[in-house]
Amino acid sequence: MTGAGNSTQSTPTLRQGTFVALRHRNFRLMWISLIVSNSGTWLQTVAQDFLVYQVTHSAWILGLVNGVRAVALIGLAFVGGTIADRLDQRKLLIFTQSCMAVTAAALGLLIQLHMIQVWHIIVISFINALLLAVDQPARQSLLPRLVPREDLMNAVALNSVTFTGAAAFGPALAGPVIATMGMTSGFYLNALSFFVVIWAVWAIRLPAATVRRQPEPVGEAIVSGLRYVRSSPTILLLVSLLTVFSFFATPYQATLPVFAERVFGGGVTVLGNLRAAMGIGALVGGFLLARFATFPRKDWLVVGGCLAYSAALLAFSATGWLPGAVALLFTGSLVMTVFQSTAQTLMQQVTADHMRGRVMSLFAVSVIGMWPLGSLPMGWATDKFGAPAAVAGGAAIAGVFALVLAAQARRLLAPSAGKIAENA
């Protein structure tokens, strides 16, 4: 959607459009399919968390179930990124999505047969993390091939909505779906949702692909990727902020069943409302960032998003009023989505094509892998000191870290496209 004028300066953010990347068929197919699939994933997440807490009544066990995912994802994500740099990303996605459909159906069957035990959920969570270690960098590496370069920033912002924004639909459906169709429905519906992505990946049409086969062995490719990351202060800054917030602040999500029962005196419906507030906030945040994707002050979006997220969680931990808690989770998810999506956009911009899978594997580790790992100490602190104190402590640590790095963020990110391009 280019402007009628000749000046490149006459195409500011407001003239780009919120959904400009969706005019491209390949991206549109992937975007719609991922919203469906991720909505199913969130539906299963709510059902699984509630099931585990019902069985064990232990926040630490709930944290353990989430934490085992981090072991595989963090340990193998860079290997998965290396694989994504060397093989066909479409084939990798079809394989990983198919396997995750099988694991979701297996959990549903175990529940239906009344054979489910906590260790089953732990093992399958570990297997899913192994699959995510390949799935996420492959998906992120495929993204720049779905849109022209001028629409990449908008595509990244919209792509973030497929995960965080889908949380608005899955949790909202969890209460009525589980109440009317049973606990197994959350797992079976999620299994079906993966086939929408498989169809979309099969249906997209790309030019004859140049599969980048690295001459170096896998071990050397991993080392060269780590050296590349170490040489980029922008990537190091963003990964550091994402990691700290994911480890200390975001694990509050694992305590939501505790808040639902102990603080607000409810069950799965209250839990679904809390999760839905997060999802709606993330949805709004993603669309706002897509609308203003070319906003030049990236340091404001990154640091401001971090500090606002910390403040929202601190206020959430102190309230016992459900409507207020819902509003605070909405706000916190909105600003965190702005921060994470901006960080992802910048990492895509500064990364060379042949390193994209490895670099974006770090994004997957810091965003998806670290918060399950952080849920272990968060679960322990919840059992020891209570959920409000545990969430407040994690939010405070993350906020202080953001303040410490604020000056560096302003130096690296404020100059926007010109300076960032030099760091690539």
DSSP codes of every residue in 23-90:
GSHHHHHHHHHHHHHHHHHHHHHHHHHHHHHHHH--HHHHHHHHHHHHHHHHHHHHHHHHHHHHS-HH
Element holding 130 (H helix, E strand): helix 118-142
Burial class, 113, CB count within 10 angstroms (exposed 0-12 / middle 13-18 / buried 19+): exposed
Distance in angstroms (rounded) separating the CA atoms of residues 7 and 2:
11
> 287 with 411: CB under 8 angstroms?
no
Q: How far is CA 386 from CA 42, 58, 152, 381, 382, in A?
A: 25, 12, 43, 7, 4
Query: Domains of the chain by range and CATH?
Result: 17-205+214-423 (1.20.1250.20)
Token duo for residue 187: 């797992």
Distance in angstroms (rounded) separating the CA atoms of residues 365 and 24:
29
Task: Give the chain's radius of gyration (CA, Å).
Answer: 21
Q: What is the end-to-end Cα distance of the chain in Å, rounded?
A: 27
Its sign, for the CA torsion 90, 29, 372, 175, is negative
**What pLDDT was estimated at residue 150?**
77
Number of neighbouring beta carbons within 10 Å of residue 231 = 10
Q: How far is CA 144 from CA 86, 204, 226, in A?
A: 16, 14, 22
Pick left, alpha or beta for residue 265 (phi over 0 → left; psi -120 to 50 → alpha; otherwise beta).
left
Angle at 155 between CA 150 and CA 157, to 5 degrees: 120
Q: How far is CA 391 from CA 164, 257, 379, in A?
A: 20, 13, 10
**What pLDDT was estimated at residue 170?**
65
- Give, to the nearest 10 degrees, the angle between helix 370-385 and helix 387-404: 130
Q: How far is CA 105 from CA 44, 191, 302, in A?
A: 11, 6, 38
Burial class, 315, CB count within 10 angstroms (exposed 0-12 / middle 13-18 / buried 19+): middle
Burial class, 228, CB count within 10 angstroms (exposed 0-12 / middle 13-18 / buried 19+): middle
Q: How far is CA 272 from CA 115, 136, 145, 169, 269, in A?
A: 25, 26, 36, 10, 5
Q: Point out the residues of the chain with pLDDT beneath 50.
A: 1-15, 210-211, 416-424
Distance in angstroms (rounded) separating the CA atoms of residues 129 and 47:
18
Count, in order, helices (H) and strands (E) of the chain.
19, 0
pTM: 0.75
Number of neighbouring beta carbons within 10 Å of residue 270 = 21
DSSP 254: G
**What pLDDT was estimated at residue 2?**
35
Chain position carrying tokens 């459900």:
322
> 342 with 290: CB under 8 angstroms?
no
Counting Cα atoms < 13 Å in the Cβ hemisphere of 217 gives 2
Question: What's at 47, amino acid-wise?
Answer: A
**What pLDDT was estimated at residue 195?**
95
**What pLDDT was estimated at residue 252?**
93
